[in-house]
Amino acid sequence: MAKTATVSRAPARVVPLRKGTTLEMVRLACPDAAQAARISESFGSPVLDGDGIREAHLRLVIETADVLGDGLGERAMQIHLQRIVGAFVGSAHGAGQFYSRAVSEARDATAKASCDARDEDVDGPVGFDGPAQRKREFAADMGLQAHALRMAAEGAVAAYERVVGETWKPFERQVDQPGQSLDRKAAALQMAAFG
**pLDDT tens digits for range 2-54:** 555 555 555 555 545 456 788 899 999 999 999 999 999 989 998 999 999 99
* Whether the Cβ atoms of residue 61 and residue 161 lie closer than 8 Å to each other: no
Segment 40-89, tens digit of pLDDT: 998 999 899 999 999 999 999 999 999 998 888 899 999 999 999 999 99
Full DSSP string of 55-99: HHHHHHHHHHHHHHTTTS-HHHHHHHHHHHHHHHHHHHHHHHHHH
CA dihedral 167, 169, 171, 172 (to 10 degrees): -140
pLDDT of residue 177: 56
Question: Residue 54: what pLDDT?
Answer: 96
Q: How confident is the model at residue 189 (pLDDT cuts 50, 70, 90)?
A: confident
Where are the alpha helices (H) located in the chain, listed in sequence order?
23-29, 33-43, 50-68, 74-113, 131-164, 178-193
Query: Cβ atoms within 10 A of the Cβ of 121, count?
Result: 17
Name the region of 75 (left: φ>0; alpha: ψ -120 to 50; beta: rest): alpha
Quote the Cα angle for 168-67-20, to 5°. Answer: 20
Q: At 175, is the pLDDT very low, low, confident or very high (cuts 50, 70, 90)?
A: low
DSSP annotation of 12 = P
Residue 174 has pLDDT above 70, yes or no: no
